[in-house]
Amino acid sequence: MKKLLLGSIFILFVVGLSFAQGIKYTKNDTIKYIVKNDILRFIGGTFWTGAEFPLNNRKSILVNGIATYGSGMGSSKENIGYGAELQYRSYLGKGSFQTNFPIYLASQFMFRRIDSYEQTPNYSIDPMTGKDNSTFSETKSSFNVYYFGVLLGCQVFVNQIFTVDLNFGGGLRLSQVDGEKSFTRYKGISDLDYSGVIPRFGLTIGIIQH
């Protein structure tokens, strides 16, 4: 399985290279990096932030750190964890074309480590008094999450001060619970420990550093 993962990542990297046709990264070439924060991830109880580093006028690398402490909307589980994401971006275009809203294709790889806690009720009623003696016990599961996929996006540069980055795509997520030899099965697509094909979209705000 490790050989399959490495092979898939290599293929995605090559695909990203093949689409790099020479767009000007932005009209201002003094950008050192862009600090970014994916605001949609807060809904899932996750702080997702990092920086994009231009490699030349048409390629860049985005590195994100991931910190999770909380639960998503409608979830009874408390999740604590960390992780990292790497994107290799190729901005599309030909020649020296310049724009403040370049379109890009990105290959990406992500790893997350999650500890998930859930309160389980234990119902009990005293037959003599009828008193409710129910208690709660906490269960914990720990697992690793691997994801690799592709993104198509557009990054809008606003007054060379900040950016708005919109993207969508999809890929394969593989989750493995500690002590299990295989990846998870029969999980819902909204669960962090889901394994299977999954869509991806993001809305990221960036601050430009010159």
* Domains of the chain: residue spans and CATH: 2-115+142-172+196-209 (2.40.160.20)
Give the pLDDT confidence of 96-111 residue by residue, as tens digits.
Answer: 667 788 899 999 999 9
Of 198, 141, 151, which Cα lies nearest the Cα of 173?
A: 198
- Residue 20, pLDDT > 50, answer no
139 CB contacts (<8 Å, ≥6 apart)? 117, 118, 120
Give the pLDDT confidence of 122-153 residue by residue, as tens digits.
Answer: 776 767 776 766 667 778 889 999 999 999 99
DSSP string, 132-151: B--EEEEEEEEEEEEEEEEE
pTM confidence score: 0.77
Letter for the amino acid at 111?
F
